[in-house]
Structures are given as C-alpha cells and as structure tokens.
Amino acid sequence: MRDLIRLTRPLNLLIVALTMVVMRYGVIGGLCKREFLRDFLPSSWTFNGVTYSPEFGFQLSTVLFILLIISTVLLMAGGNVINDYFDTRIDRVNKPTDVLVGRTVKRRVAMAGHWVLSGLGVLIGVIVAFASHQGWLALIPVFAAGALWFYSTNLKQSLFLGNGLVATLSALVVLQIGLYDVRMLEFAFAAIPSFDLRVLWWWIIGYTVFAFISTLLRELQKDMADVRGDAAAGCRTVPIAWGMQASRRLVAFWAILIIVAVGLLADRVFTEIASRAYLYVLVIAPILASCILTWNARTRDQHNRAGNVMKLAMVFAVAFGAVYPWLIA
C-alpha cells in the first residue's frame, strides 16, 4: 500500500491542492475583501420586483470546494499511477532503483488503482458541477481523465503534444477556480449594471498562463533528464528529435518569456517595494538560476536539480497570491 501511494506522488498532489486553496482564498478571497470591489455594492437592490441581498464573497460552498479539490487530486493521482504503469521500460533505464510497478506493486494492482482513483475523481467532479448549477463544467474532470490516459498511452511519445497536454491540464487546475467561484459571483450580482470583476479574471488568467508556460518549461527539463530512457522506448521528445542544444535554447526562451512577463508585472502592476522584492528574489531569480543550471547540465542529476529549482519558483509564484494582501497592507 505504501508503494502504491508513492506512485501517486503525494508531494505533487499536495502542491496541486494548495494551489487551488491559494487561488480561492488568497487571490479571489483577498481581492473580494479589497474596498475597490465593495464600494459600489448596495446592501440590497430590487430587480424585476424581487429584492436581492446576496453576501459578497464565495458563492461556491466550502463543501463543494473541498470536493472539487478531492476530485482534482484523485484525477492527478490516477494519472500519475497510469503514467508509471506504462513508463516501466523507460524508468528501468532512467531510475532503475525507483521502479515500483511490477516489483513492489503488482501491475494489475496499479491498473486497478488507476481506475478507482480516476473513476472517483470523475464522479465527484460531475457532482460538484451539477450541484453548483454549472453542469457543463462536468466536462473538465471527464476531459482530464481521458487526457491523462491518452497521454500515458500515446501522446507521451509525440513531439510537443504530450508536453502541451500536461501544460493544459496544469492550467485547468487554476482556471477552474475562476470558472466556479468568479462566474458564480458574477451570476449572483448580475442585476447590478456596474458590477465588474475583471480584476479577478486578470489574476486567474495571469496564473493560468503562468501555469501553462512554466509547466511546458518544466516538462522539457524532465525530457532532457530522461532522454536515455525515452530514446530506448522509441519516444519522440524534443531532446531526441531536435537535440539537447536546441532543447537548452527552448528552455531559455520559455524562461526569458516568464521572466520578462513577471518583470513587467513588478514594474507596472505590483509596484510596492515588498511585492517587487518578492517577485524578483523568489520567482525571477530561481527561474533564471534554473535556466542557467539547465544550460550547463550534462548529467541526469544535474538536469533534475535544475528542474527542482524551477519547481521551487513555481511554488513561490503560486504563494504570491496568498501573501500579496499582506505585502500591501
């Protein structure tokens, strides 16, 4: 059981859950408490003869939000298990001492674990979508489950498509918070013509784009670290198809793109000294360091070290959404 749990990669799942919590309570909750979103809201108003007075804040209940986190975590866990199930041959080359499927975890147990985790994830996700009166959002868990299976069985060996799909799923983790909480808030206050939540959407979209690009970069770093095993399995990743030098240039491109974007935000939007210091020291500096480490890396351990620094930068970037209200207090 312990090794089956290890297959789910609990630390990554914890990061996913904390990301969702930060997006809801740090970004959306923090901004909803800011006066510029409250100033124009009356305590109640009448529309078509009906008096409204909804509370300005989260419209998705805490129970449904917790279920949304559980659904997302279960889907990611199922995806991690099935990925290791099909990556056994690759992992025997890249990390032979860490292979669990077929050794300490029977293959049929791993497959059953995937179906149970993914099935529960889809079921809970569908329940949350319909319970929040946004049934179309049930497409997200269904898409995620299918995409993770298709990635492990087919797209992982395809140039760009596999990395793009993983990046899309990472971006959806952030975007779905806006699709639930912000949209429900818009619906609740739709009767007020002046009601405008664009500031919330800019934050959600900004984090969604960051999640997409940073995950592309991180996946490319992983492909560079795993190039030997991927080549033995016949995969067509960027390092195999284009070479390691081209991969280093692509990592540098994505890193520079993120650094410039975060730098512009620090210069134009987050102008407080504390916010700028946070972004430059805890986000931009680690991304730059990761890029330099990748450029100089020649062994798998060195590539993994560069990837870990990038993951740290991603964690600090997410945490900014939680600490920002304190930085401007």
Encode pLDDT of 212-257 as tens digits: 999 999 999 999 998 888 887 778 889 999 999 999 999 999 999 9
Tokens of 90: 């690759």
Nearest to 125, CA basis, from 20, 207, 30: 20
Contact assessment for residue 239 and residue 223, using Cβ atoms and an 8 Å cutoff: yes
pLDDT exceeds cutoff 60 at 46: no
Residue 49's pLDDT is what?
47
For the record, the structure tokens of 115 come out as 């179906």
User: 26-40, 167-181, 235-249, 300-314: which has the minimum mean pLDDT?
Assistant: 26-40
Per-residue pLDDT at 152 exceeds 90 = no
Calculate helix-pair angle for 198-225, 244-268, nearest 10 degrees: 160
Structure confidence at residue 246 (pLDDT) = 95
Of 249, 165, 174, which Cα lies nearest the Cα of 210?
A: 174
Categorize the per-residue pLDDT at 119 as very low, low, confident or very high, splitting at 50, 70 and 90: very high
Domain range summary for the chain, segments of one domain joined by +: 2-45+53-327
Q: Which residue has the tokens 């209200």?
A: 325
Query: 327 exposed, middle or buried (CB, 10 Å; 0-12, 13-18, 19+)?
Result: middle
Condensed to tens digits (0 to 9), the pLDDT of residues 271-299 reads 889 999 999 999 999 999 999 999 999 99
The Cα–Cα gap between 290 and 288 comes to 5
pTM: 0.90
**pLDDT tens digits for range 50-72:** 444 455 668 899 999 999 999 99
Task: Write down the pLDDT at residue 329.
Answer: 58
CB 187 within 8 A of CB 59: yes
**What distance lies between CA 175 and its chain's CA centroid?**
9
